[in-house]
Amino acid sequence: MPTIFKLDRKLISFSGPDAEKLLHDTLTANVRALEEKTCQWFALLSPQGKILFEGQIFRLGDALYTDLDSALVDDFFKRMRLYKMRANVEMEAVEDMAVGWSSEETDEAFKDIRPGMGFRHYAAIGDAEDWDDGTAAYTQTRFENGIAACPADFEPNSFFAHDIGMDLLPGAIDFKKGCYIGQEVVSRMQHRGTARKRIMCVSAEAPLDAPGPIEANEKKIGDLLNVSDRLGLALVRTDKAKKGATFLHGEQPVQLAAPHWASYDLSDS
């Protein structure tokens, strides 16, 4: 059996005849295309296209479940209740299930289809008592794979979906389905190619300090968002971050690298 780590996340269940339509019409992902034993990354955006919530969505039995950071769950529930209006949907905060993560598959695991992000596990709280806290291990894995999370790395309503690469990772944004909240901004950024800020993996030879500006040639080119020992994530203007430049966080030299799944990179000129 693989080692399963417990995450500080909670679930909300959506059931009823209109549950799929409600989620499909509000979230960035194609909810109707969810595959069995698979978690799909999604965001709920503001009308201005900024990320209010991000998490995983999966199907279990006759219900759909959202898996979010515990700090976001109450606000997400309230927001979705507003969008529900008269739809025939039952929403319930799931208090008796734990959320876990592992790097290895089991028969009960749900595949996180983001590259390198392993598997999700959902179990009754009583069955998860032997799961150790997995925040540090999960954070390390996120940083190694260039996966940003809200609110751990950025505050709600501060980043566009393109900023964190949701346009490049499988299914996180469905560009072919109909309208959803914030869709016009997302589509405009996609078609015009206006995404300039992108997530970068950060590494250093010594432990990194708290988040703050990253500079090159005495000019700010981005921000270090979050750190874990010698690794971190940054949001960087890729057109201003030149290959071969010396990047500094304060006085500390740091290395920047695009995530292994990215189609973007540091500028050549």
* CATH code of 248's domain: 2.40.30
Q: Clarify whether residues 244 and 143 are in a common domain.
A: no
Can you tell me which residue has the tokens 């780590």?
Answer: 5
Please give the residue range of the domain that contains residue 158: 5-189
**Tens of pLDDT along 211-238?**
999 999 999 999 999 999 999 999 999 9
CA torsion sign for 235, 238, 240, 242 is positive
pLDDT in tens, 80-120: 999 999 999 999 999 999 999 999 998 899 999 999 999 99
99 shares its domain with 134: yes
Model confidence band, residue 194 (pLDDT cutoffs 50, 70, 90) = confident
Query: With b meaning 16 or more CB within 10 Å and e meaning fewer, what string describes 84-108?
Result: beeeebebeebeebbbbbbeeeeee
In the predicted model, what is the mean pLDDT of the chain?
A: 95
For residue 108, being part of any structural domain is answered with: yes
Structure tokens at 77: 């529930």
Q: What is the CATH number of the domain that holds 16?
A: 3.30.1360.120
Domain finish residue from 160, 189, 218 = 189
Instruction: Please give the full DSSP string across 198-214, using - where no structure is assigned.
Output: EEEEEE-SS---SSEEE
pLDDT higher than 80, residue 6: yes
- Provide, rounded to the nearest whole percent, the portion of the chain with pLDDT above 90: 92
CB neighbours (10 Å) of residue 246?
11
Report phi then psi at 147, rounded to 5.
-110, 115
pLDDT tens per residue across span 135-148: 999 999 999 999 99
CA count, 13 A, side-chain hemisphere, 207: 4
State residue 178's pLDDT score: 84
- What pLDDT, in 10s, does the model give residues 57-76? 999 999 999 999 999 999 99
Q: Which two tokens stand for residue 224?
A: 């270090």
Domain count, the chain: 2
